[in-house]
Amino acid sequence: MLARAWAVPVLFLGLIVLDGCAANGNMATKTMDNPYDVTVLVWLDEQPGGKPRLHVSAIFDPRPGGSAWKQVRLSALELQQGRQSWNPGVTAMEPRGAGFEVKAEGEPPAGMKGPLTLVASFEAADGPKRVSVPVPRFEVVQ
């Protein structure tokens, strides 16, 4: 029964985000301060038989003509919503084509409202990097 208790605010969160954002979950987002196109998707895995988990996937594709970061590693990742933030339990960074993918998962948050923003911090050969991109779509998968 308590599983329902958190499900309600998370569902609400999803509705708020969907209302406020573009519906295309694969929309690439360009930011001025990094040489990558970032495609971000956040979903809540509700497949029965296990605890629901919130997942984040952010794919960093080098932009043509951009200068890809060297020796890059993830140092922090969080989802922000207004003053609230969600920190995942597990993060990973994997090569993906010419770029890389940042993955994160953790227990679903409760009570966050409004559009989500992904904030990722990296260490690279030429110093720290910080990327902030809006989450265009929040999905529930089963």
**Binding residues for other proteins (CB under 8 A):** 1-4, 7, 23-26, 41, 43, 45-53, 55, 57, 96-97, 103, 105, 139-142
Minimum distance, C-beta of residue 103 to other proteins, in the bound complex (Å)? 6
Written in H, E and C, the secondary structure of 6-66 is: HHHHHHHHHHHHHHHCCCCCCCEEECCCCCEEEEEEEEEECCCCCCCEEEEEEEEEECCCC
Residues 44, 53 contacting (CB under 8 angstroms): yes
Q: Which is nearer to other proteins, 46 or 123 (CB)?
A: 46
Residue 2 burial (10 A CB sphere; 0-12, 13-18, 19+):
exposed
Nearer to other proteins, 3 or 32 (CB): 3
The residues, any chain, with a CB within 8 Å of residue 20's CB and separated by 6 or more, are 114, 115
| Closest CB to other proteins among residues 47, 67 | 47
**Radius of gyration, CA atoms only, the chain:** 15
Nearest to 133 by CA among 12, 54, 14, 34: 34
Least CB distance to other proteins at residue 134 (A): 16
In angstroms, what is the minimal distance from the CB of 126 to other proteins? 26
Rounded least distance, CB 48 to other proteins, Å = 3
If the CB atoms of residues 10 and 112 are measured against other proteins, the closer one turns out to be 10
Q: Which is nearer to other proteins, 35 or 106 (CB)?
A: 106
Least CB distance from residue 127 to other proteins, whole Å? 28
